[in-house]
């Protein structure tokens, strides 16, 4: 169910006639492409592109002509056109290698291969036809007559004139559309955001407690944010003027309070409260009202809210099905009437972080923490804005609503990015360590910058914990050598993720080629490592590194695309595909002769291998699944997951995992025969990554946990008026 203003009429654009393109019906006025019982809602750029190709079927359009016709006067590159052609092919069910609809002419352009017929009658009337109903011949108006020779010159002049008029109409239509649907002309410079802007940033709040999730009021006068006391676990909300002065604590009731957002008129504040098991949506009247509950929220105790209209509060709500994913909902805080907005697939687990601009477009995140996709909802249609899934803590529209500022680790480290939601153009701005954020109506940016000090610790039976690494940054994903004499791990002490080698008191950074990040090292044998390499755009590749030669073995048979590889003995590795996909990972085996997929391992969230076993946990499942390496075609064995599972691994026929009991964390040993788990070692804190490793004798374990955490709120003021951002 949608609000009345959600069904916005599409703006006029370059294409207006309803067209029969092969066996597809294109209705530009409703942005629909339909065939039989299948129907798609297209963004305007795809409507214009398909209509342009259909204007002269069989003729070749150069890339330059298509860019000028569809993205006229916009600074876009060839990759934008290539991506749009690929999207059209996907919608039409076409194949670039054996095209039936759109043919690529290398170094020349594109042409439409199927016949096109204009549909007689009103487009709106035709748009209501059942797509499965046959089209009568009398409805088609294809003019196949040949003009007399004497008239051909006059007709050519008329055609040229009509083409000029159509170009002018197209431009006028584009300007009308672009102001409403995102403006392909939006650039970091035109929206006031470039990397140079972050030079003006300065600390805004650096108190002893964790301040996060800042939000401006609609008029820009006020600011609210959440506070956590990391020592006591207490949380509260603060409300202050936009310059941060005179903060006052808000009475929010019991629970862990988070996600504050102002009502459009600035007189109320909505937020979430978590009591340890349930999430509640609350609202309080400012300046000193008492909180009241609006209803349950879902997914997480701290997923952000948005309040774009007095009667429309957006939030992540429960699915209504105990096993289903959390979805986006809207509610009227005055009446309590609510409606569901999205229906995520089960493997996505959550839709969260809604942000609506003035045009009514809702940007949001889909997927679990660490593997979130960025989506856009326009009316009743949804589309993914970026390929792949990544760790995305937050997002916000620029003040003009034409672009998004996104905090993401897409480039291998957390930072701020600028995104054009129409063209998909993405630029790295900076702001390393960026997390939650908001943009004020004057264009000022307030964002949270996080810094973790995480170290590797060795826990032993009957001994005190021993700190293995000693830096002020982040060390994780330890991997002991087969003989237990050396250790490799990941650190960001020198910038992006790099891999370090340690033996006793000696340590050094591996000499690795440039990459966005190097992560998840594993020993293949005594002299070779398996590494995961992040390249541009968040894609990953498995590399084999020769320790003696300090070089990558590019031709090694185990090298290739993938994520998080683990050795299985000999020239066999287990690796994952689909890390950048909110549907979860899939597991594959690779050896010198080829590779095969483990059919039972789908929607994988994490996995480990060792001692002849493969174990994984899947999205939305409450059990580990286990297979013996020598019996991969057998049904997997299942063991229940602990409710507070942290890091885990496999050792000597047992699962070793970290879990919280009460206020403390400990390591537990779970036999694979399903007998009860036993408590093994006490931990100093929560794990910082998903890996626990145990020595060959089974007497000590190594894992990473956070020893210190600090955060600042950073402010970037708007660019001075009349001064270029650059």
Report pLDDT digits (tens) over 276-303. Answer: 778 999 999 998 889 999 999 987 668 9
- Round to whole Å and give the CA distance between 511 and 553: 13
Does residue 537 belong to any structural domain of this protein?
A: yes
Does residue 680 belong to any structural domain of this protein?
A: no
Enter the tokens of residue 314.
Answer: 């957006």
Please give the pLDDT value at position 416. Answer: 95
Q: In what order do the strands lie in the sheet with 498-503?
A: 475-480, 487-491, 498-503, 506-509
Length of the chain counted residue by residue: 726
Whether residue 175 sits in one domain with residue 224 = no
Mean pLDDT over 235-260 rounds to: 92
Contacts of 102 by beta carbon, 8 Å cutoff, 6+ apart? 53, 85, 88, 89, 92, 94, 110, 111, 112, 113
* DSSP 3-state of 162: helix
Mean pLDDT over 664-688 rounds to: 93
Please give the pLDDT value at position 126. Answer: 34
Enter the tokens of residue 652.
Answer: 């000597």
Whether residue 467 sits in one domain with residue 579 = yes
- Round to whole Å and give the CA distance between 79 and 436: 31
CB 393 within 8 A of CB 15: no
CATH number, residue 540? 2.120.10.30
- Round to whole Å and give the CA distance between 558 and 575: 10
Contacts of 631 by beta carbon, 8 Å cutoff, 6+ apart? none
Whether residue 473 sits in one domain with residue 619 = yes
CB 398 within 8 A of CB 193: yes
* C-beta atoms surrounding 712 within 10 Å: 18
Confidence class for position 72, pLDDT limits 50, 70, 90: low
Task: Give the β-pairing of 613-618 and 604-610.
Answer: antiparallel
Say how far residue 148 (Cα) sits from the centre of its chain.
Answer: 59
* C-beta atoms surrounding 171 within 10 Å: 14
- Alpha-carbon distance values, 107 to 25, 64, 84, 126, 629 (Å): 30, 11, 17, 38, 49
Q: 337 lies in which domain range?
A: 195-400+418-431
CATH number, residue 46? 1.10.10.10
pTM for this prediction = 0.70
Radius of gyration (Cα) for the chain, nearest Å? 29
- Round to whole Å and give the CA distance between 421 and 601: 34
CB 628 within 8 A of CB 634: yes
The answer, yes or no, to whether residue 103 has pLDDT greater than 80, is yes
- Round to whole Å and give the CA distance between 363 and 372: 13
The answer, yes or no, to whether residue 167 has pLDDT greater than 80, is no
| Higher per-residue pLDDT: 394 or 379 | 394
CB 641 within 8 A of CB 690: no
Report pLDDT digits (tens) over 507-528. Answer: 899 999 877 789 999 999 999 9
Please give the pLDDT value at position 300. Answer: 67
Longest dimension (CA), the chain: 104
- Closest alpha carbon to 101 in 116, 113, 83: 113
Whether residue 106 sits in one domain with residue 56 = yes
Which residues lie across from 383 on neighbouring strands?
Answer: 376
CA dihedral 159, 163, 164, 168 (to 10 degrees): 150
Whether residue 424 sits in one domain with residue 478 = no
Report pLDDT digits (tens) over 654-669. Answer: 999 999 988 789 999 9
Say how far residue 225 (Cα) sits from the centre of its chain.
Answer: 24
Q: Give the H or E element holding residue 429.
A: strand 426-430
- Closest alpha carbon to 316 in 279, 288, 371, 266: 279
Does residue 703 belong to any structural domain of this protein?
A: no
| Higher per-residue pLDDT: 124 or 538 | 538
Q: Give the H or E element holding residue 457.
A: strand 445-460
* DSSP 3-state of 345: coil
Please give the pLDDT value at position 166. Answer: 46
Whether residue 349 sits in one domain with residue 323 = yes
The answer, yes or no, to whether residue 219 has pLDDT greater than 90, is yes
Does residue 439 belong to any structural domain of this protein?
A: no
Whether residue 636 sits in one domain with residue 610 = yes
Q: How many CA atoms lie within 13 A of 48 on its CB side?
A: 26
The answer, yes or no, to whether residue 546 has pLDDT greater than 90, is yes
| Higher per-residue pLDDT: 178 or 325 | 325
Angle in degrees, CA 586, 591, 596, rounded to 5: 35
Does residue 117 belong to any structural domain of this protein?
A: yes
Please give the pLDDT value at position 321. Answer: 65
Is residue 357 packed enough to be buried (19+ CB in 10 Å), middle (13-18) or exposed (0-12)? Answer: buried
Whether residue 333 sits in one domain with residue 260 = yes
If one counts the domains in the chain, the total is 3
Whether residue 177 sits in one domain with residue 278 = no
- Round to whole Å and give the CA distance between 637 and 654: 13
* DSSP 3-state of 1: coil
**DSSP code for 8:** P
Percent of the chain residues past pLDDT 70, beyond the cut: 85
Whether residue 287 sits in one domain with residue 258 = yes
Does residue 262 belong to any structural domain of this protein?
A: yes
- Round to whole Å and give the CA distance between 494 and 472: 11
Please give the pLDDT value at position 323. Answer: 63
Whether residue 332 sits in one domain with residue 375 = yes
Whether residue 223 sits in one domain with residue 89 = no
CB 367 within 8 A of CB 375: no
- Closest alpha carbon to 139 in 15, 56, 18: 18
Report pLDDT digits (tens) over 113-155. Answer: 988 888 754 333 333 333 333 333 333 333 333 333 443 444 4
Q: What is the DSSP string of 661-684?
A: ETTEEEEEEEETTSPPPEEEEE-S
- Closest alpha carbon to 407 in 372, 428, 373, 435: 435
Does residue 270 belong to any structural domain of this protein?
A: yes
Does residue 146 belong to any structural domain of this protein?
A: no
Strands (E), 263-380: 268-274, 279-285, 292-297, 306-309, 312-317, 327-331, 338-340, 351-356, 362-366, 373-378
């Amino acid at each position: 169910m949608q609000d009345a203003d959600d069904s916005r009429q599409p703006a006029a654009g370059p294409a207006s006639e309803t067209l029969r393109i092969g066996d597809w019906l294109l209705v530009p006025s409703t942005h629909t492409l339909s065939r039989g019982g299948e129907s798609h809602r297209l963004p305007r750029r795809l409507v214009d592109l398909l209509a342009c190709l259909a204007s002269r079927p069989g003729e070749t359009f150069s890339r330059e002509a298509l860019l000028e016709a569809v993205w006229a006067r916009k600074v876009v590159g060839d990759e934008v056109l290539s991506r749009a052609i690929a999207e059209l092919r996907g919608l039409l069910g076409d194949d670039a290698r054996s095209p039936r609809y759109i043919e690529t002419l290398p170094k020349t352009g594109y042409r439409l291969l199927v016949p096109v017929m204009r549909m007689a009658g009103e487009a709106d009337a035709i748009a209501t036809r059942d797509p499965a109903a046959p089209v009568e011949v009398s409805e088609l108006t294809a003019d196949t007559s040949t003009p007399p020779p004497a008239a051909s010159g006059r007709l050519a002049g008329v055609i040229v004139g009509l083409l000029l008029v159509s170009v002018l109409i197209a431009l006028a239509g584009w300007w009308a559309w672009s102001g409403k649907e995102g403006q392909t002309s939006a650039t970091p410079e035109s929206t006031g955001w470039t990397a140079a802007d972050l030079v003006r940033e300065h600390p805004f709040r650096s108190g002893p407690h964790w301040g996060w999730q800042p939000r401006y009021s609609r008029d820009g006068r006020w600011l609210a944010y959440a506070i956590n006391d990391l020592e006591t676990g207490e949380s509260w909300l603060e409300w202050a003027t936009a310059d941060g002065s005179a903060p006052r604590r808000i009475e929010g009731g019991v629970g862990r309070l988070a996600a504050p957002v102002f009502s459009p008129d600035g007189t109320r504040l909505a937020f979430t409260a978590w009591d340890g098991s349930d999430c509640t949506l609350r609202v309080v009247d400012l300046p000193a009202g008492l909180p009241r509950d609006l209803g349950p929220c879902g997914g997480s105790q701290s997923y952000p809210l948005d309040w774009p209209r007095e009667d429309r509060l957006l939030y992540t709500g429960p699915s209504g099905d105990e096993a289903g994913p959390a979805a986006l909902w809207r509610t009227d805080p005055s009446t309590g009437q609510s409606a569901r907005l999205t229906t995520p697939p089960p493997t996505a687990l959550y839709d969260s972080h809604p942000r609506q601009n003035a045009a009514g477009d809702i940007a949001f995140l889909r997927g679990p923490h660490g593997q979130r996709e960025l989506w856009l909802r326009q009316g009743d249609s949804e589309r993914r804005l970026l390929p792949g899934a990544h760790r995305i803590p937050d997002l916000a529209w620029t003040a003009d609503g034409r672009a998004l500022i996104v905090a993401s680790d897409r480039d291998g480290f957390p930072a701020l990015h600028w995104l054009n939601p129409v063209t998909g153009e993405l630029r790295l701005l900076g702001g390393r360590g960026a997390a939650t954020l908001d943009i004020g109506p004057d264009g000022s940016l307030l964002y949270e910058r996080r810094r973790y000090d995480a170290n590797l610790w060795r826990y032993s039976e009957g001994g005190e914990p021993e700190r293995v690494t000693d830096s002020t940054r982040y060390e994780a994903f330890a991997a002991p050598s087969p003989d237990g004499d050396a250790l490799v791990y990941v650190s960001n002490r020198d910038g992006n993720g790099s891999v370090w080698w340690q033996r006793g008191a000696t340590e050094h950074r591996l000499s690795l080629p440039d990459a966005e990040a190097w992560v998840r090292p594993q020993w293949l044998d005594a002299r070779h490592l398996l590494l995961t390499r992040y390249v541009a755009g968040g894609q990953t590749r498995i590399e084999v590194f020769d320790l003696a030669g300090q070089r990558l073995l590019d031709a090694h048979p185990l090298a290739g695309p993938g994520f998080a590889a683990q050795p299985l003995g000999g020239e066999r590795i287990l690796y994952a595909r689909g890390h950048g996909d909110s549907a979860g990972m899939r597991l594959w085996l690779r050896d010198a002769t080829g590779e095969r997929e483990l059919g039972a391992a789908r929607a994988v969230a994490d996995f480990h291998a060792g001692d002849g076993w493969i174990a994984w946990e899947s999205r939305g499942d409450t059990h580990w699944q286990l297979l013996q390496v020598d019996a991969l075609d057998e049904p997997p064995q299942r063991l229940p997951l602990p409710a507070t599972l942290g890091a885990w691994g496999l050792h000597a026929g047992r699962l070793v995992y970290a879990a919280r009991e009460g206020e403390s964390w400990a390591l537990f040993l779970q036999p694979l025969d399903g007998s009860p788990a036993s408590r093994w070692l006490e931990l100093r804190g929560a794990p910082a990554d998903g890996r626990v490793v145990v020595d060959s004798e089974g007497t000590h374990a190594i894992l990473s946990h956070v020893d210190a955490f600090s955060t600042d709120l950073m402010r970037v003021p708007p660019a001075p008026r009349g001064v270029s951002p650059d």
